[in-house]
Amino acid sequence: VKNNEITLLDHTFPKDNWTNISENIISKLGRNLHISPYHPLSHIRQRIVNYIYMQFHNRIGNPIFSVFDNISPIVTVAQNFDSLLVPENHPSRKKSDCYYINQNTILRAHTTAHQSELISMGLNNFLIVGDVYRKDEIDFTHYPVFHQADAVRLCTAEEVFQNVDNSNELKLFEHRGMETDEKQGCHALESVKIMEHELKNTLVGLAQTLFGSEIQYRWVQQYFPFTHPSWELEVHYNDQWIEILGCGIMRQEILQKSGAGERIGWAFGLGLERLAMCLYDIPNIRLFWSNDTGFLNQFKVEDPNTAIKYKPISVYPQCKNDISFWLPENKSYSSNDFYDLVRDIGEDRVEQVLLKDEYTHPETKKISHCYTIVYRHMERTLSKREVNNIHNQIAKRANEKLHVTLRG
């Protein structure tokens, strides 16, 4: 094994000073929970695919969407960001937010990363489902690996205006138009409105298929670099508004660069875990990674539409332990890097990390952080010794890798 190379999913990549992928993350590559038979995330995937197949078919009843659910999560930085017009200095590109294999290669942070490549291949209607990777906080609903489904639909003028009388007067594009809240400069308002209508109808229908026809919902304006206008869909569930997806009219520049400039498109992206946690009452995102049959067997049904409510197996005790340290003075520090380090050492034995206190010394201006680390295994009781051992390793590694100074 060479130290300046890393092998992931049977491919070898050179390492450089951008490499920040951890062992814990590497161990998740190839698990493919979204296509594991009977897995709750696989049921959700199947329900979304079935719905889209049913909504969009050709004259003889065949689905027009192609589904890609097994594309490697290793992509180029160009695919994940540049092809989607994400600006060079956008915060989502930061080393503290994603997993770089090296300067040019990354674990995709969203399944949208494959959009322009599939359009270039000539596809007009497709779904992408897969695992995505982001450095993030640690709690019941966040995990550095999760799963998304993305959809793209591209239409010609003929398709957009097929139900409109005298449609020969209508066009997709407008020469030298202005960008407004409602549309991009190059688009004609009538074509955008028809696409927006189809997009929103499709997604409300999806929400009703998943949550039931009585579900309350609302649209919220949003910003994405790759769509305009853009929205999020929220549904009212268990007395809360929860955001379930992002969507919008695709930036025309993306279509032009991929050889589909004569069409107009919509796109959406959603996370599978959040949907599954709501629909099955799953209280903790780590459960999706469990190999415990007490969890998995509860989802062993042939029909993905079966209503299932998860019943907790048993609850093992929590163990809380604080850690506080001075941040490095002449190096950058990000809490996300600490969370990643905790995850790497603690693996799934850490349930939550809370930033409990932040303090600036009045004279030296040094900053100190205090975190509470909540330890709990889902399948067994952790011994005090095991917890102390992990906690000490975290402290040691934080000092070495993040250059923090531990406080007594």
Site residues for ligand PHE per CB under 6 A: 110, 112, 150, 224, 227, 246-248, 267-269
DSSP string, 222-248: EEETTEEEEEEEEEEETTEEEEEEEEE
Closer to ligand PHE by Cβ: residue 152 or 353: 152
CA distance 374 to 63: 47
| Closest separation in Å from C-beta 159 to ligand PHE | 20
CA distance 3 to 6: 8
Q: What angle do CA 325, 327, 328 make, to 5 degrees?
A: 130
Closer to ligand PHE by Cβ: residue 107 or 267: 267
| Closest separation in Å from C-beta 227 to ligand PHE | 5
| Closest separation in Å from C-beta 204 to ligand PHE | 16
For 89, residues 6+ apart whose C-beta sits below 8 A from its C-beta are none
Alpha helices in 258-357 (DSSP H): 272-280, 293-296, 335-346
Write out the two tokens for 60.
Answer: 């003889």
Closer to ligand PHE by Cβ: residue 151 or 172: 151
| Closest separation in Å from C-beta 268 to ligand PHE | 5
CA distance 355 to 406: 15
Q: Residue with CB nearest ligand PHE?
A: 269
| Closest separation in Å from C-beta 84 to ligand PHE | 8
Closer to ligand PHE by Cβ: residue 151 or 345: 151
Cβ atoms of 273 and 140 within 8 Å: the answer is: no
| Closest separation in Å from C-beta 265 to ligand PHE | 10
| Closest separation in Å from C-beta 91 to ligand PHE | 13
CA distance 212 to 340: 37
Closer to ligand PHE by Cβ: residue 246 or 304: 246
CA distance 219 to 242: 11
Write out the two tokens for 374.
Answer: 């909540």
Closer to ligand PHE by Cβ: residue 107 or 387: 107
Closer to ligand PHE by Cβ: residue 144 or 269: 269
Specify the DSSP element, H or E, that contains 373. strand 367-375
